[in-house]
Amino acid sequence: MVVIKSPRELEHMREACRISANALKLAGTAVEPGVSTLEIDTLIAKYIEKEGAKASFLGYGGFPKSSCISVNNVVIHGIPNRNCVLKAGDIVSIDVGAFFEGYHGDNAYTFPCGEISKEAEALLTATRESLYEGIKAAKAGNRVGDIGHAVQSYVEARSYSVVRDFVGHGVGAKLHEEPSVPNYGTPGRGVRLIPGMTIAIEPMINMGTHKVRVLDDEWTTVTEDGKLSAHFEHTVVITQDGPKILTIPDDEVSL
């Protein structure tokens, strides 16, 4: 069932989203050669705790860390660890959620580590822009398929592929709510978008095949062909005046 948020609920969501966005922004400042993904996760966990919130992902379905950090060909759900040390040229997708006063915020960004290749930069740019194409399509009266079609058509025109096995979702009192929000689809099809809906739009875009596989840890998801993948995400509320991004960080963020 799709949950429509009241103005009061949206205020709680804005704060959860602000904390999530700040944690993600802070994490991005730590993406440097020689830093482990565990160090970045620790930074995220400390910030979320300082804000009086809880990390949405910690313990979710048994996930062992506060964030998902996915490097290069890891699409999503990378588990931070001390042995995964970043090097120049890596692309680092960080997915962060915060739970505050009964509501979740959820966002992701793929950061370059040092100087990256032109091919990697082009993938990041296309994925980031496809997110905003999807957001532009998230208008009251449109349908979920309009969002997916906007993302899909943008990236496929640039010879990238859309992950099919994982999709965006509603978000609110639960981290994952209805409706599912695929990054592919047919215009005019799917759930209708209504003011008060809050959804996480999150393109996961691969340089090669759209096919992925999950490793033996039952979390880490990699591209089947070993090529790069990027991931960007915002939590958005549908309004009569168009979609509004909730995961906006403060100008200054620090511990």
The first and second tokens of residue 13, run together, are 């969501």
- Residue 3 is given by DSSP the state P
Number of CB atoms found within 10 A of residue 253's CB: 17
The C-alpha angle with vertex 202 and arms to 62 and 232, in degrees rounded to 5, equals: 100
What would the pLDDT profile of 175-195 be if each residue is shown by its tens digit? 999 999 999 999 999 999 999
Do you find a cis peptide bond into 249, omega within 30 degrees of 0? no
- Does domain 7-245 correspond to CATH entry 3.40.50.2020? no
Cα 92–Cα 80–Cα 95 angle in degrees, nearest 5: 50
3-state secondary structure at position 219 = coil
Show me where the domains of the chain are located.
7-245
Question: Are the beta carbons of 149 and 185 closer than 8 angstroms?
Answer: yes
Looking at the DSSP bridge assignments, the partners of residue 212 are 223
**223-249: per-residue pLDDT in tens?**
999 999 999 999 999 999 999 999 999
Of the CA atoms within 13 Å of residue 69, those in its CB half-sphere come to 34
How many whole angstroms separate alpha carbon 60 and alpha carbon 71? 21
| Tens of pLDDT, residue by residue, the chain (255 residues) | 899 999 999 999 999 999 999 999 999 999 999 999 999 999 999 999 999 999 999 999 999 999 999 999 999 999 999 999 999 999 999 999 999 999 999 999 999 999 999 999 999 999 999 999 999 999 999 999 999 999 999 999 999 999 999 999 999 999 999 999 999 999 999 999 999 999 999 999 999 999 999 999 999 999 999 999 999 999 999 999 999 999 999 987 877
